[in-house]
A and B are shown apart, each in its own frame.
Chain A
Amino acid sequence: MHGRVKVKTTAQQEEEKRKEREKKLKIYVAARDACFSKRKEGVCDDEALQLTQQLLSSNPDFATLWNYRREILMHLETVKDRDEMQNIYEAELSFLEACLKVNPKSYGSWHHRGWVSARLPRPDWARELSLCDRCLSLDDRNFHCWDYRRMVVKVSGVPVDQELEFSDRLIGSNFSNYSSWHYRSTLLPLLHPQTPEAGQEPPHASSPRGPQSHRVCEEQLLKEYELVQNAFFTDPNDQSAWFYYRWLLGRAEREETVSCVYVSREDERVAVAFSRPVNICDLPPGTINDVANEHNLTVHWTGSHTHRDCALYTGRVESWCRDTATDQELFRSELSVEKTSVLQSELQSVKQLQELEPLNKWCLLTIILLMRALDPLGYEKETLAHFQTLKQVDSMRSEYYSDLCSKFMIENTILKMEYAEVRVFSITDRNLTSLCHLDQLLLVTHINLSSNRLQRLPPQFAMLQCLEVLEADNNFLENLEGVYHLPRLQEVSLKNNSILSCRCSFRAQISVSSGTPVLGIGSFCDLCSYLAAYK
């Protein structure tokens, strides 16, 4: 179905081809029908093996025939002895090797080989590993072969460092080696986990423990930086090295934690921000509304055995406790002195490379990522400039870069919040195309998003449970979705947007204009009719 070129032929050539295919078809259909009727009768003989072999050689995706072969082999196990079965299965492996030569990408062939290897009285895993070596030397992106190799390595207990060396060799000798880098990413956390346990045996290269376990200890990490750097300096267009490098620079997903607890006496409500969604819990009426009382609240999160405390003092109407973005290592990891100096020198090197290869988008993106890792606020201006260049060099993905830049600008604003007010969030004239990290804005009462390129306020905007004032003039907002579930909202300013629809559901002072001066409007109902009049 893939890669079959349409070749133009003459009428005579067409006719010859047609006759040939008719003949082939007749033979095929006869063999297939013979197979099916034998199987129906429960026959498990040599002829059945012959017929299935004939068909599978040219059509290894005919899964039912592999099933039939397995049934025959299993039947033979009941009447032959171990040595005979050893021979039969070895012959099966030879047959499979021939199949794989013709079609190295058939799920059916590889699965059958795995089935046979597991049933061999005397398995020969070295032979299987050597088959993988040969297959990968012909095509080191064949994922069927890689998966088979992983199984062989697991079952036969090949040490991780041996496989790491194997990936080294492949990376060194081949250009198209995303598969090898990928393999490394699964081996490293096994060999050099971030928190090494005392007395740990060198682990076998068994399957990784899930997406959270891709942390690697720092020493090994720094060695990897060197390895990858060699790769992309040798060939700056080898994208796999750049992908791998981005992973090295990145952090593992931060552990799920309670990042903020907010209590409101008036609303008798507790809002809890986790690393992602916000949970709101209404307290039974009368619990905390008496301002003369002090209350100590503790939020227990049984899921990850953590808790946060929050004290609501006498005379106070609200209270909160919140980790700063830095405390949470929210946007970047703590860097050791060694790692900082390594990344600094890498930044210089990649910058030099970028001057030699001004059209290489990987360089530009990587420079941005390195700056983020080292000093997000310090490099803000340079980062913005690099994004501009990147959008020109790689224009097909300019929307991606706009969103990524928006994310970084929002992160910087959040970082700055630590030194300033934690209840005001202002990010204007930054070409923002999307919003994120809204879970960090639970405490914000005033938000200004004016003069950006936002098309919507997403449903997650509802996390801004304390929001009283929203300014979002001069954007491209099309609707007011995201604004409906903000219990404290009092003022909304939406001059110069593209609002086409809204729901009339709550009171607000709204200033809105499609080119006319500011008008004060009492409710969304008025807004709707106002907008309707303007269409």
Chain B
Amino acid sequence: MLGTQIKDVILKPDAPSSLLLDKHADYIAAYGSKKDDYEYTLSEYLRMSGIYWGLTVMDLMGQLDRMNLQEIIDFIKACQHDCGGFSASIGHDPHLLYTLSAVQILCLYDSLHAIDVDKVVEYVKGLQQEDGSFAGDKWGEIDTRFSFCAVATLALLGKMEMINVDRAVEFVLSCMNFDGGFGCRPGSESHAGQIYCCTGFLSLTGQLHQLNADLLGWWLCERQLPSGGLNGRPEKLPDVCYSWWVLASLKIIGRIHWIDKSRLRQFILACQDEETGGFADRPGDMVDPFHTLFGVAGLSLLGEEQVKAVNPVLCMPEDVLQRIGLQPDLLS
């Protein structure tokens, strides 16, 4: 009986099997120094997040000091608009996504004083809608990713009470599906990225008990494929970034032991590029800072000793959050 073939990758026996931390640090340190790179220029629309990915992974590897603090702070300052929000880069429009990234970077550097914090709060508050949801910017796109961005930003600034938290929670819960997962908007299909945002949201708002952790945990642990890698939803290929979205979600809901850790670790390591450094979405593909962060962060959650402990809710080093005094709930 010919049925559905399982979509997966096959790990080559000569795939990298040890963590090449120094190569990754060199890759990130050099990234973006060649400002005439085509890909780099085309991804300008997400630069603030790109910087957050690079700095966070460097910090996790204990090499943050190789990055140019002052240049970055100046860049961030130049990206704060009058409305209080931050854009991805100079000349671009403000958006919640890049506002969160900016605040996260400033926390890494303990430099929140460099920007107008009250204005940021005003910007975030202004994006909350009647039904509790958050628009990404003034153009009105609604997505649970933005609910996460909003509360994460405010949590880092210690100003969560400035929004209507109850309404925000109501909206996120209205996005819960039959399988215990969450999508972008009410009625949207469950997706690991959205699930990460919603479980992170519920952690920050103290509402994790509203989840059906057993049901959601099952859906999440079913993301693990024979190769050991994790996909984002059923019948999709594995991708190293899901080592973060899925794993962090499982950690938040107290069920990280439901996946096979050693098989996942093997997959993540296989996604390294021995030549260039960095991680790709899957073995043999092109590397980028996004997948590099989530590969390393995933390994941290799996207990990798060479990497600093990472917070599963905010994807930032635990020691940074300790300094701020932020300890989001986790289920046991």
Interface residues of A (CB under 8 A from B): 1-6, 21-22, 24-25, 28-29, 36, 59, 61-64, 66-67, 70, 107, 111, 115, 141, 143, 146-147, 150, 175-176, 178-179, 182-183, 185-186, 207-211, 214, 235-240, 243-244, 247, 250, 253, 276-277, 395-397, 399-400, 403-404, 407, 458-460
Closest chain A residue to B286, Cβ basis: A4
> B273 contacts which of A6, A67, A404 (Cβ < 8 Å)?
A6
Closest chain B residue to A150, Cβ basis: B187
Whether A185 contacts B185 by the Cβ 8 Å rule is: no
Whether A238 contacts B221 by the Cβ 8 Å rule is: no
Whether A2 contacts B92 by the Cβ 8 Å rule is: no
Given contacts A6-B273, A207-B187, list 4 more A-B pairs with CB under 8 A.
Answer: A4-B286, A29-B41, A185-B178, A211-B212
CA distance A207 to B141 in the complex (A): 16
Whether A186 contacts B4 by the Cβ 8 Å rule is: no
Q: Is B249 an interface residue (CB 8 A)?
A: no
CA distance A400 to B190 in the complex (A): 20
**Residues of chain A lying within 8 A (CB to CB) of residue B179:** 182, 243, 247
CA distance A147 to B179 in the complex (A): 18
**Residues of chain B lying within 8 A (CB to CB) of residue A4:** 280, 285-286
Whether B4 contacts A396 by the Cβ 8 Å rule is: no
**Residues of chain A lying within 8 A (CB to CB) of residue B273:** 6
- Of all A-B residue pairs in the complex, the 5 with the closest CB atoms, nearest first, are A185-B178, A211-B176, A207-B186, A396-B260, A400-B258
Whether A243 contacts B219 by the Cβ 8 Å rule is: yes
| A342, chain B: closest CB distance, angstroms | 20
**Residues of chain B lying within 8 A (CB to CB) of residue A186:** 177-178, 187
Closest chain A residue to B280, Cβ basis: A6
Q: Is B325 an interface residue (CB 8 A)?
A: no
Which segment, of B101-109, B112-120, B157-165, B233-241, faces chain A? B233-241
Closest chain A residue to B233, Cβ basis: A178
Whether B3 contacts A237 by the Cβ 8 Å rule is: yes
Whether A185 contacts B177 by the Cβ 8 Å rule is: yes
CA distance A114 to B94 in the complex (A): 21
**Residues of chain B lying within 8 A (CB to CB) of residue A115:** 139-140
Whether A240 contacts B187 by the Cβ 8 Å rule is: no
Whether A22 contacts B36 by the Cβ 8 Å rule is: yes
A-B pair count, CB < 8 Å, reads 165
Task: Identify 5 residue pairs between A and B in the complex whose beta-carbon atoms are under 8 Å apart, listed by A's number.
Answer: A28-B38, A147-B184, A147-B187, A186-B178, A396-B263
Whether B38 contacts A36 by the Cβ 8 Å rule is: no
Contact with A along B178-216 (1 / 0, CB 8 A): 110001111111110000000000000000010010110
Whether A147 contacts B188 by the Cβ 8 Å rule is: yes
Given A25-B36, A207-B185, A396-B259, decide whether A59 and B45 contact each other with a Cβ distance below 8 A.
yes
CA distance A510 to B209 in the complex (A): 34
Q: Is B318 an interface residue (CB 8 A)?
A: no
Whether A28 contacts B42 by the Cβ 8 Å rule is: yes
Whether B221 contacts A400 by the Cβ 8 Å rule is: yes
CA distance A253 to B216 in the complex (A): 13
> Which B residues, 88 to 144, have Cβ-Cβ distances below 8 Å to chain A?
91-93, 95, 137, 139-141, 143
CA distance A146 to B191 in the complex (A): 13
Whether A3 contacts B3 by the Cβ 8 Å rule is: no
Contact with A along B34-59 (1 / 0, CB 8 A): 00101001101110000000000000
CA distance A5 to B260 in the complex (A): 27
Given A2-B281, A143-B191, decide whether A176 and B4 contact each other with a Cβ distance below 8 A.
yes
Given A6-B286, A115-B139, A185-B177, decide whether A147 and B233 contact each other with a Cβ distance below 8 A.
no
**Residues of chain B lying within 8 A (CB to CB) of residue A6:** 273, 280, 284-286
| B233, chain A: closest CB distance, angstroms | 7
Contact with A along B7-50 (1 / 0, CB 8 A): 00000000000000000000000000000101001101110000
CA distance A404 to B290 in the complex (A): 35
CA distance A386 to B37 in the complex (A): 57
> A1 contacts which of B6, B214, B258, B290 (Cβ < 8 Å)?
B290
Whether B3 contacts A182 by the Cβ 8 Å rule is: no
CA distance A179 to B260 in the complex (A): 27
| A431, chain B: closest CB distance, angstroms | 15
Closest chain B residue to A6, Cβ basis: B286
Closest chain A residue to B87, Cβ basis: A64
| B142, chain A: closest CB distance, angstroms | 9
CA distance A198 to B264 in the complex (A): 53
CA distance A293 to B189 in the complex (A): 58
Whether B178 contacts A182 by the Cβ 8 Å rule is: yes
Whether A277 contacts B209 by the Cβ 8 Å rule is: yes
**Residues of chain B lying within 8 A (CB to CB) of residue A207:** 174, 185-187
| B274, chain A: closest CB distance, angstroms | 11
Q: Is B257 an interface residue (CB 8 A)?
A: yes
| A188, chain B: closest CB distance, angstroms | 9
**Residues of chain B lying within 8 A (CB to CB) of residue A243:** 179, 219, 234
| A304, chain B: closest CB distance, angstroms | 15
**Residues of chain A lying within 8 A (CB to CB) of residue B317:** none
Whether A59 contacts B4 by the Cβ 8 Å rule is: no
Q: Is B70 an interface residue (CB 8 A)?
A: no
Whether B258 contacts A2 by the Cβ 8 Å rule is: no
| B153, chain A: closest CB distance, angstroms | 18
CA distance A240 to B95 in the complex (A): 35
| A152, chain B: closest CB distance, angstroms | 12
CA distance A436 to B326 in the complex (A): 28
| A398, chain B: closest CB distance, angstroms | 8
**Residues of chain A lying within 8 A (CB to CB) of residue B190:** 182
Whether A5 contacts B286 by the Cβ 8 Å rule is: yes
**Residues of chain A lying within 8 A (CB to CB) of residue B84:** none
**Residues of chain B lying within 8 A (CB to CB) of residue A237:** 3-4, 6
**Residues of chain A lying within 8 A (CB to CB) of residue B285:** 3-6
**Residues of chain B lying within 8 A (CB to CB) of residue A5:** 284-286
| B59, chain A: closest CB distance, angstroms | 22
CA distance A107 to B146 in the complex (A): 13
Q: Is B300 an interface residue (CB 8 A)?
A: no
Closest chain A residue to B220, Cβ basis: A400
